[in-house]
Chains A and B, each alone.
Chain A
Amino acid sequence: MDIDRNITAMEGTSALPRKNGELIFAMPWEGRAFGMAIALLREGMYPWQEFQTRLVAQINATGCEPGPAPDYYEHWLAAFEQLLLEQGIMTCQEFERRKAEFASGEREEVF
């Protein structure tokens, strides 16, 4: 519950992109990236602050306009990957290998 409040209360460039309140996922992968990061937060895999700091850093690295950042979920995804690696939840090697398997079509399903 606190997690949900923290997420919806983000302001400025780190605010979730919305159109009249509706969350905007321009592509399905954006929704998956959003859902995964929050599902793990809810499980207590890492503290909210750890995720938020990385998200803000990612966004700020590319300049800042008021309002939700362009390519918001690119930043979200980068912050999430960084967090998983730094917290030792996954290793760089296994991530690289798995990415290559999906990119080449060797692996298609996530399960």
Chain B
Amino acid sequence: MSDEHDQHDHHGHHPAPLSEVEARVRALESLLLEKGLLTPDAVDTVIAAYERDIGPLNGAKVVARAWVDSEYKKRLLAEGTSAIAELGFGGMQGEHMVVVENTPTTHNVIVCTLCSCYPWPVLGLPPTWYKSPPYRSRVVMEPRKVLEEFGLSLDESIEVRVWDSSAELRYMVLPERPAGTEGMPEEELVQLVTRDSMIGVAQAKSPGAAS
């Protein structure tokens, strides 16, 4: 959102007359501004917050907390929805969050084979490829090959588990904490957690690679 005048086509003429509903909304906004009950950018601020704050950062904060707090991690793996709610993230409409942990011997990846169920309250908007039919079918049939195409080569000894999301169950991957991050504060760890690492098609970033 660049500036607060975006909606008002710059000092100009309105070529098309306002619809009835548009006139109502403008009348309200203008009255509320006039009464000093709204500030000019209050509405933009609200919209931007709803678009941005329910996003990937929420999931990254969950992961970073689990990396530094082993008790939290236990709760997260046992009861994902409530552990995520502890950090103030909700907005799930009846869906259950299940968090699956990557370990040196197990790698997890999530998909929705039927449609595009996605844990959006923690991960924000799903990437386009997540919704694409090739990803949805191939990650189940040949997960290693798909992960390789994402640039993630896994040793044969590592077991790959694919989790199929549904309307009631949403999965999120808890990636492994990268080496060399001992003692790093939680706020910095958050920066290493990418969306892709929580879908399971990548590892968390290494400290050196963090931008």
A contact set with B: CB distance below 8 Å: 1, 4-5, 8-9, 11, 15, 18, 20-23, 28-29, 31-36, 38-40, 42-43, 45, 74, 77, 80-81, 84, 89-90, 94-95, 98-99, 101-103, 105, 107-111
Contact = CB atoms under 8 A, between A and B. Distances in A.
A59 B209 CA distance: 50
A20 B120 CA distance: 7
B8 A109 contact: yes
11 contacts: A18-B120, A23-B50, A28-B7, A34-B46, A35-B47, A36-B28, A81-B28, A90-B35, A102-B26, A107-B26, A107-B30
Nearest to A29: B25
B30 A105 contact: no
Of residues A40, A90, A102, which shows the largest number of chain B Cβ atoms within 10 Å of its Cβ?
A102
Given A110-B26, A111-B33, A74 B21 contact: yes
Interface in B92-147: 93-94, 116, 118, 120-121, 124-126, 131
Contact of A101 (B27, B35, B54, B88): B27
Contact of A39 (B43, B88, B93, B121): B43
B21 A99 contact: no
Given A8-B90, A20-B118, A109-B8, A36 B38 contact: yes
Interface string B3-23: 000011000001001101111
Contact of A21 (B20, B26, B44, B120): B120
Nearest to A36: B43
Given A8-B90, A39-B43, A98-B27, 15 more contacts: A4-B49, A20-B118, A20-B120, A20-B126, A21-B54, A23-B50, A35-B42, A35-B44, A36-B29, A77-B24, A102-B18, A102-B22, A102-B27, A110-B26, A111-B33
Of residues B30, B40, B51, which shows the largest number of chain A Cβ atoms within 10 Å of its Cβ?
B30
A33 B37 contact: no
B31 interface: yes
A21 B124 contact: yes
Contacts of A98: 27, 30-31
Contacts of B28: 33, 36, 80-81, 84, 90, 95
Nearest to B17: A105
B30 A110 contact: yes
Of residues B27, B50, B124, which shows the largest number of chain A Cβ atoms within 10 Å of its Cβ?
B27
B43 to A, nearest CB: 3
B18 A39 contact: no
B158 interface: no
A67 to B, nearest CB: 10
Given A35-B42, A39-B46, A111 B14 contact: no
Contacts of B49: 4
Nearest to A102: B23
